[in-house]
Structures are given as structure tokens and as C-alpha cells.
Amino acid sequence: MLFAKTATSKQLVQLSQGSYEISFSLLDAQSSLAQVALPLEAKGLSVNESKKVLINLSSTITYDEVFKGVSLRYTVLPERLKEDIIL
């Protein structure tokens, strides 16, 4: 699973498995940088501590204001991708 650095990319999200691939993009989106959120459990840990602890099996990527008043948040879980449209 790959995410673009900005919301204006031609491949905002790209999913692949074996020889199959699917991707999608947004039409007329505003330029918004991807923001990767650290799990709450990772905050406050030293670099060495974070390497020893299995914190969370999910990641969150947010694109703020992709359209006026609209943000996108993607949560990557072990077996799925969740998309939240935030108004």
C-alpha cells in the first residue's frame, strides 16, 4: 500500500497484491501534504524503546483541506484500509 506525498498526485492511494494493482486519485483537489500520525502509545518512547515494543498494527495518514472544508483520513490496518471523509 502506497500513499502520495500530496493530495494532487495522480495516484493518491495505490494498493497491490501479486500481479494485481488498483489506485485512485481526487479530481480538482487542493494541494495538501500527507501527515502521518504516530500512535498514542509511541509518543514519549525513546528511539530504542520504540524498537523493542510492538505498539500498534495500524497507521493513520491525513490529507487536510483536500477540498474546502473537507479532509481525508486513511487508517491502514493489517487486513484493510479505512477511509474517513471529514467535513
Instruction: Look at the block and give the residue holding cell 500512535.
Output: 39
For residues 50 and 54, what is the distance between their CA atoms, to the nearest angstrom?
A: 8
Selection from 26, 31, 27, 28 nearest residue 65 by Cα: 31
How is residue 39 written as a grid cell?
A: 500512535
- Rounded to two decimals, the pTM is 0.77
| pLDDT tens readout for residues 44-87 | 667 676 666 555 667 889 999 999 999 999 998 878 889 999 99
What kind and span of H or E run contains 65? strand 59-67
